[in-house]
Structure 1
């Protein structure tokens, strides 16, 4: 085969992979766009997008993730003149598609063999990534791990000043989406340094370092400008960092790691044991891949004096810092946010030539089985088709299919608000339903819309001052022990605010379908 034919084949494969990725992502979105509704994390994102469309600034004006994802969604919604939850999902799916297609292109670039087999492997990779894109509102985080991997692979293939400048911009933009992603990108670059130093063709380090730093500053410029030009944004930004590092001293609500040997086998059928055991195996596989992959990259680079497979090396180096995502709150949702670099690395792993076909396809079969068993029960489309009782409900103009329990919750919130909240009024929803604000289209009377973590007295006093000013006409308080922990009940994490509610509001009971929901009205309405 001539060089021209090879290049034409590569271009055709590139186009085929990209086209399949677009179609697969579109079909995946259409399959679940109108299914399910989550008042917790999904509502938290949707409310933030609503506030941005009203001119507010994330972090400064309301509790939020870092600003990037809100402006991405709000920009697309403004462009197409839409505002509902389906539109928010579509904008998120568009960003997630970048990660899915990027994973396919990485596998195409990092794999070897016949072009047909490589394209088939790319298709498998993209389907696998689509399955792991859950929950949907976390598609930004999963996609960003792939984007950072792809950008780093480009640097490792040819570490020039220009490529390091571009990679720095990508790392900076990742931090705009989530400062943790920016940190992971920086750590992956630091881990890549000894690998690059082992190469025979060393880059001009002083030029490359300056270029990379300049790129990070350029990418992070939106936040830097906000910190310089807006005092209130700067105060709240640094306070959010101070709270996580010095007050709460963590990044998430931790869960014990579900190692496979901790699965309780007593008096349970085999079918009930398979899924938790497989979840545990994935948690074992992630650090195992990182350690063994790093050793393989270092050994081969020292021997060959060149990075033989930049995609594999970038996957390993990026997967290492993303272990923090998986293990900071060890559930399948956070595993899904961290696993994509590992999946890409596994699919392009340089197996010995004699065993490549057998080992690779056997491994893919096992991986496909484990993935389907673990993630399908978390896809709303699959659950709706396997469980009875789902109903269609109007959510601010969009029809969504949701479980009977969720439908009752949405109905109760709508009925309580229509009965007690007058035009221009608002509600207080604590601690786990930030989606109630988005559902009703009202502004939260407090800054902390998702109050899961304990807060000090000074912060609570500030929130009480906001409540005095806004005077919510309805309080929805879920008396739930988050993660089964009584110390995470709202009355224990925010005792001063709870005392204020108990003093200035009176309870009227709970809806029939929501026994855990405590409903309060202002004392003036006794």
Structure 2
């Protein structure tokens, strides 16, 4: 029996190492950080949408959301844990991140990276998966694409691999249509590479099996489009709105940053981020050159294929990183660069260029850690607690205690007091503009499809909203909240008719401990102010 177990382990060593190593590292990261932080806006949207999906509602159709895949994944974990609380949501994200790390680790093993190199890269990737945690799906998909491209390059003549690539592309699009697009771009980069190799006889079966896989992988969405009444129209409306989803921000190159003033953690982060915006495209450009050079000389080895695959996976995601080039978007779209960098480091070491190898590994690691570590939830908590002990509050979410920003906690406490004060039910609440997490916290249903007010809406859309809140008793409003300090995105400008209606029908109430930035309004005369 022991001999059989040993044979199985030796035969499957790479996959066993990848699975167990990823679960172990991601488990440690999750155990350390899950209790720190909670964002009422973006993270709140993920939590609210996952809750409503778990209860049987349809994303996009029944409420504002991204594509449905991530919410069904979170719903699965709600079912497993028996709870739709924040902890279960974070557990679902950590599991998805572990899946991305597993396949990337397995690819590094098959490419021949030494154990210590694989481990070092995996540790950095686990740190990266810690923030932004509500975007772990994006981060994990970049690693999945990295491994898919690698194994497709290794098996260009295997139709099964092209089908797997296609299925993964369809599933990625089910999680986010932009990911489907980036996966398709990576597919065409491989097609161009096949032209470069003059292996055109493989093109037709590759395209055919990839297309069949995309159809299979995207079939859940296709079935919803065909069989779910009203979903096709809602989906098309969401497609037309894609251009308004994201406001561009210039790439924060060092020469665009204000480096004056005293040296602080923020300044050091700014420098590191500016360097990263140069370093990552350089890694991709250098990696592609190495890959094509090795290919031109003959059949490339698995190491050069991993370098090329990481670059081919990362290049499409530069759009995600640099279109709205704040740290959050750069962080969620650049993980393949670290796989490429460690692959290149081993390539240089194997070619007797150890000084360059060590330099690349250290520069990549130090730069990444410098701008990533201060944004980890646990580190943010320690920094806040150190600078101002009163800036963080403990709050029970579900049956777990979390430590979150005081403003966020005060908002939740104020709404809870107002609901008690005004005898308001959890489904008689409206929270605007950026508070979907308030609904999730109270396990409440928003009164209208829109619950994250980001864009200007038509008069008819606002009238529909006004009709939907006819039974709403309590309103949480943050009139000055906006995106990128833009006046035109404040709710009085994006939802002018709704705001006018609220101020005509509802009156402000005083609630002990309510932050100055918010207003609480109620229409009932019976509601008293404390």
Over the residues paired in the alignment, what is the CA RMSD in angstroms? 2.4
Structure 2 CA distance for aligned equivalents of residues 391 and 243 of structure 1: 37
In 2, the alpha carbon distance for the partners of 1:285 and 1:105 equals: 25
Task: Note the alpha carbon deviations across 1:91-134, whole angstroms, 9 max, x for none.
Answer: 1110111112222222222345xxxxx11111111111111111
- Aligned counterparts of 1:417 and 1:397: Cα–Cα separation in 2: 21
Q: CA deviation at 1:270?
A: 6.2
Q: Say whether 1:297 aligns with 2:291.
A: yes
Aligned to 2:3: none
For residues 224 and 208 of structure 1, do their structure 2 counterparts lie closer, same or farther at Cα, with a shift above 3 Å needed?
Answer: same
Match of 1:187 among 168, 171, 185: 185
Q: Could you say which residue in structure 2 is the equivalent of 1:340?
A: 335
Equivalent-residue separation in structure 2 for 1:354 and 1:425 (angstroms): 65
Give the length in aligned residue pairs: 511
CA contact (8 A) 1:195 1:301 kept: no
> Is 1:264 matched up with 2:258?
yes
Matched residue, 1:359 = 356
Cα distance change of structure 1 residues 411 and 17 upon mapping to structure 2, 3 Å threshold: same
Given candidates 288, 309, 322, the residue that maps to 1:327 is 322
Specify which of 439, 443, 446 is matched with residue 444 of structure 1.
446
Q: Distance in 2 between matches of 1:150 and 1:208?
A: 17
1:304–1:473 Cα change, 3 Å: same
1:52 deviates by: 1.3
- What corresponds to 2:49 in structure 1? 48
Residues 291 and 305, structure 2, Cα contact 8 Å, conserved in 1: no
Change (3 A) 1:320 1:505: same
Contact 2:395 2:409 in 1 (8 A): yes
Aligned residue in 2 for 1:142: 139
Aligned to 2:248: 254
Q: Is the 8 A contact 1:170 1:219 kept in 2?
A: yes
Looking at structure 1, the residues matched to 254 and 419 of structure 2 have their Cα atoms a distance apart, in angstroms, of 46
Tell me what 2:477 maps to.
Answer: 477
- Pairing partner for 1:131 from 123, 127, 132: 127
Distance 1:358 1:242 in 2: 51
1:394: Cα distance to partner?
Answer: 1.0
- Note the C-alpha offset of 1:236: 0.8
Q: Provide closer, same or farther for how the CA distance between residues 314 and 500 of structure 1 changes in structure 2, counting only shifts above 3 A.
A: same
- Give the drift of 1:272: 4.7
Q: Which ranges in structure 2 are unaligned for 5 or more consecutive residues? A: 1-5
Query: Is 1:77 aligned to residue 84 of structure 2?
Result: no
Tell me whether 1:279 sits opposite 2:273 in the alignment.
Answer: yes
Structure 1 gaps of 5+ residues are 113-117
Partner SS, residue 63 of structure 2: coil
Distance 1:81 1:24, change over 3 A: same
Change (3 A) 1:9 1:362: farther
> Are the structure 2 counterparts of residues 206 and 421 from structure 1 closer, same or farther at C-alpha, using a change threshold of 3 Å?
farther
1:251-285 alpha-carbon deviations (Å, 9 max, x no partner): 41222321111221333336553210111111122
State the match for 2:460 in structure 1: 458
Q: Does the residue aligned with 2:241 lie in a helix, a strand or coil?
A: helix
Indicate the residue corresponding to 2:369 in structure 1: 372
CA-to-partner distance for each residue in 1:122-175, whole Å, 9 max, x for gaps? Answer: 111111111111111111110011112211211111122211111100000000
Displacement of 1:75: 1.4
> Aligned partners of 1:374 and 1:424: how far apart in 2?
40
In the alignment, is residue 214 of structure 1 matched against residue 217 of structure 2?
A: no
